[in-house]
């Protein structure tokens, strides 16, 4: 799987209207999939927000990855509830 600029990727998100679809590469452990989900949702929400919260203004690819790793450590495997919690921690929906 390749990302939007042709680099190898473990996951890829697309946004259509108010839906985020995440494609995960095969062969990942549940922990890797969880981190990928946290990462892709946070990045997609940042890109898709008309005015993203200040907490994400300066995040780079490395920053999104670190936030995803931290979220997985704090909240465990990604679920709807834990992803929403992460988004609230970054100021989305407030």
Residue 94 DSSP one-character state: -
Q: How confident is the model at residue 79, as a pLDDT? A: 97
Q: Is residue 36 part of a domain?
A: yes
pLDDT of residue 77: 98
43 domain-assigned: yes
Q: Is 19 a member of any domain?
A: no
The residue range of the domain holding 38 is 26-89
Q: Is residue 53 part of a domain?
A: yes
**Domain presence at residue 11:** no
pLDDT for the residue numbered 75:
97
* Distance in angstroms (rounded) separating the CA atoms of residues 7 and 14: 16
Per-residue pLDDT of the chain (94 residues), as tens digits, is 877 777 788 999 999 888 999 999 999 999 999 999 999 999 999 999 999 999 999 999 999 999 999 999 999 999 999 999 999 999 998 6
Asked whether residue 82 is domain-assigned, the answer is yes
**What pTM was computed for the model?**
0.91
The answer to whether residue 50 sits within a structural domain is yes
Label residue 71 exposed, middle or buried (CB < 10 Å: 0-12, 13-18, 19+).
buried
């Amino acid at each position: 799987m390749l990302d939007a600029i042709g680099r190898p990727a473990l996951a890829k998100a697309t946004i259509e209207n108010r839906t985020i679809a995440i494609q995960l590469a095969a062969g990942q452990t549940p922990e890797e999939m969880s981190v990928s989900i946290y990462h892709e949702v946070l990045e997609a929400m940042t890109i898709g927000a008309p005015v993203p919260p200040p907490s994400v203004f300066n995040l780079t690819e490395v920053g999104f990855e670190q936030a995803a790793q931290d979220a997985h450590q704090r909240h465990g495997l990604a679920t709807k509830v834990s992803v929403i919690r992460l988004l609230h921690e970054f100021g989305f929906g407030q």
